[in-house]
Homo-oligomer: A and B are copies of this chain.
């Protein structure tokens, strides 16, 4: 369902999505219309979810990040979820097993802002917060390398 060439294309595009069809084509040994068609299908099938840019949060003024565990109080699940969706300072957020809780990333400008945001959910959920220090050890993408290499 995803052949060698598709994976190679994805690998190149993760590193630089502006790579021209011409260059992609010579990397995989196809013509540019063929590559174009493959990319179209990868998008169509949802393998490529988006062409996007990665922005440095610090450049936007978000010098602080935190990882927050949020356990909604009984009956408050939907209200809490809605809040998370609406507050723009939330980054990625996942629901995890166990005692039905969320794990989310928060981008803030200061500790004060962090406190303020947590206050907004304090009466609807039990939270625990870990402040992120330093630069990330790794950044996001799903492990394309893991498909070819051993682990």
Number of copies: 2
Q: Of B96, B142, B151, which is within 8 A of A132 by CB?
A: B96
Question: Are B49 and A147 neighbours in the complex by a CB distance under 8 Å?
Answer: no
Q: How large is the interface on A (under 10, 10 to 19, 20 to 34, 35 or more residues)?
A: 35 or more
CB contacts (< 8 Å) of A138 on chain B: these are 84-85, 90-93, 104
- Show the binding face of A for B, using Cβ within 8 Å: 2, 10, 13-18, 45-57, 59-62, 65, 67, 81, 84-85, 87-98, 102-104, 107, 117, 130-134, 136-147, 149, 151
**Docked CA distance A81–B135 (Å):** 13
Q: List 20 A-B contacts (CB under 8 A).
A: A2-B60, A16-B50, A17-B53, A46-B56, A48-B54, A57-B142, A60-B143, A60-B144, A60-B147, A65-B94, A81-B137, A84-B138, A85-B137, A89-B143, A89-B146, A90-B143, A95-B133, A95-B137, A102-B137, A107-B142
Q: Known contacts A57-B142, A95-B137, A142-B60; decide if A52 and B149 are in contact (CB<8 Å).
A: no
Known pairs A91-B142, A107-B146 / 17 extra A-B pairs, C-beta < 8 Å: A17-B18, A17-B52, A46-B59, A48-B53, A52-B52, A60-B143, A81-B137, A85-B138, A87-B151, A89-B143, A94-B132, A94-B136, A97-B133, A98-B130, A104-B138, A107-B142, A107-B143
